[in-house]
Amino acid sequence: MRRILFLAVLACCSIASAQVAIEVPDKPIEIGRTYLLPVTGLDANNLPRTALKVSPGDSARAVGVTGWAGEQYIWFEASAAGRYTIVVAVNGEIKPDLTLASLDVGGESPNPPPPPPPEEEVWGVILIEESEERTHALAKILVGTEVSEFLESKDLIWKPADQHVIDVGGETPQDLVPYIAEAKERGLPRLYIMGVNGHEFYAGEVPKDSAAVIKLVKQYLKED
């Protein structure tokens, strides 16, 4: 739903000097309508790795697009009422620069509900935590081999990470930036089940044990 909103990655090359800002309506927008939200402070010809994410992601889509004159927009649509948060993460030299914007969706849609997301295979599981506050139950999931062995048997990725994780360059891994940002906002630990094209099958609390994690993942696997 977000062409790698595991990342909707807006591909390009280096950091924008201006302050990034997302322009959102000051009134609730309609369910089912598509909106183009202007984004300022991003240079279309000189962007770094930039990640885009919308939360909650099960009833909304957000994709970065570029206009004819190089202007930047976020294509946004929601199929349910509520408050949505959009995160744009620009990877700086030391840490990502995060831009958040919230907008409300409400009212009746004049159009039919949007079609369900296209079918895609599950890519894997991301788990964001604060290791210093890890519970005994979570430790058993992470230290045990049940989840990792199950995912490996299905050719799926298992990617647990602390919210303070950094790569060899001393930066937050770019593919985890939007998930860490959302997990910090919505509560740690947080589990994501992702599709190969970026669809977010699940985003929420970590199940109580390894068996429950495996049962949850199985719900989204296509039958052999």
What does the buried/exposed string (b/e) look like for 157-174 if buried means 16 or more CB atoms within 10 Å of the residue's CB? ebbbbbbeeeeeeebbbb
- Predicted local confidence at residue 95, as pLDDT: 54
Q: Residues 141, 100: one domain? A: no
Question: CA of 118: how far to CAs of 3, 59, 67, 195, 208, in Å?
Answer: 11, 14, 25, 10, 30
pLDDT tens series, the chain, 224 aa: 333 332 232 322 223 334 788 999 888 888 888 888 998 887 665 465 678 888 888 889 888 887 777 788 888 999 888 889 898 877 654 456 677 888 889 865 444 445 555 578 999 999 999 999 999 999 999 999 999 999 999 999 999 999 999 988 889 998 999 999 999 999 999 999 998 888 888 999 999 999 999 999 999 997 65
- Predicted local confidence at residue 107, as pLDDT: 62
Q: Residues 169, 101: one domain? A: no
- Predicted local confidence at residue 155, as pLDDT: 95
Q: Show the tokens assigned to 47.
A: 């962007």
Number of domains into which the chain is organized: 2
Domain end point (choices 73, 105, 137): 105
CATH number at residue 63: 2.60.40.10
- Predicted local confidence at residue 137, as pLDDT: 95
| Range of the structural domain that residue 214 is part of | 122-218
CATH number at residue 171: 3.40.30.10
Q: Residues 94, 175: one domain? A: no
Residues 6+ apart with CB under 8 A from 108: 30, 31
Q: Residues 79, 149: one domain? A: no
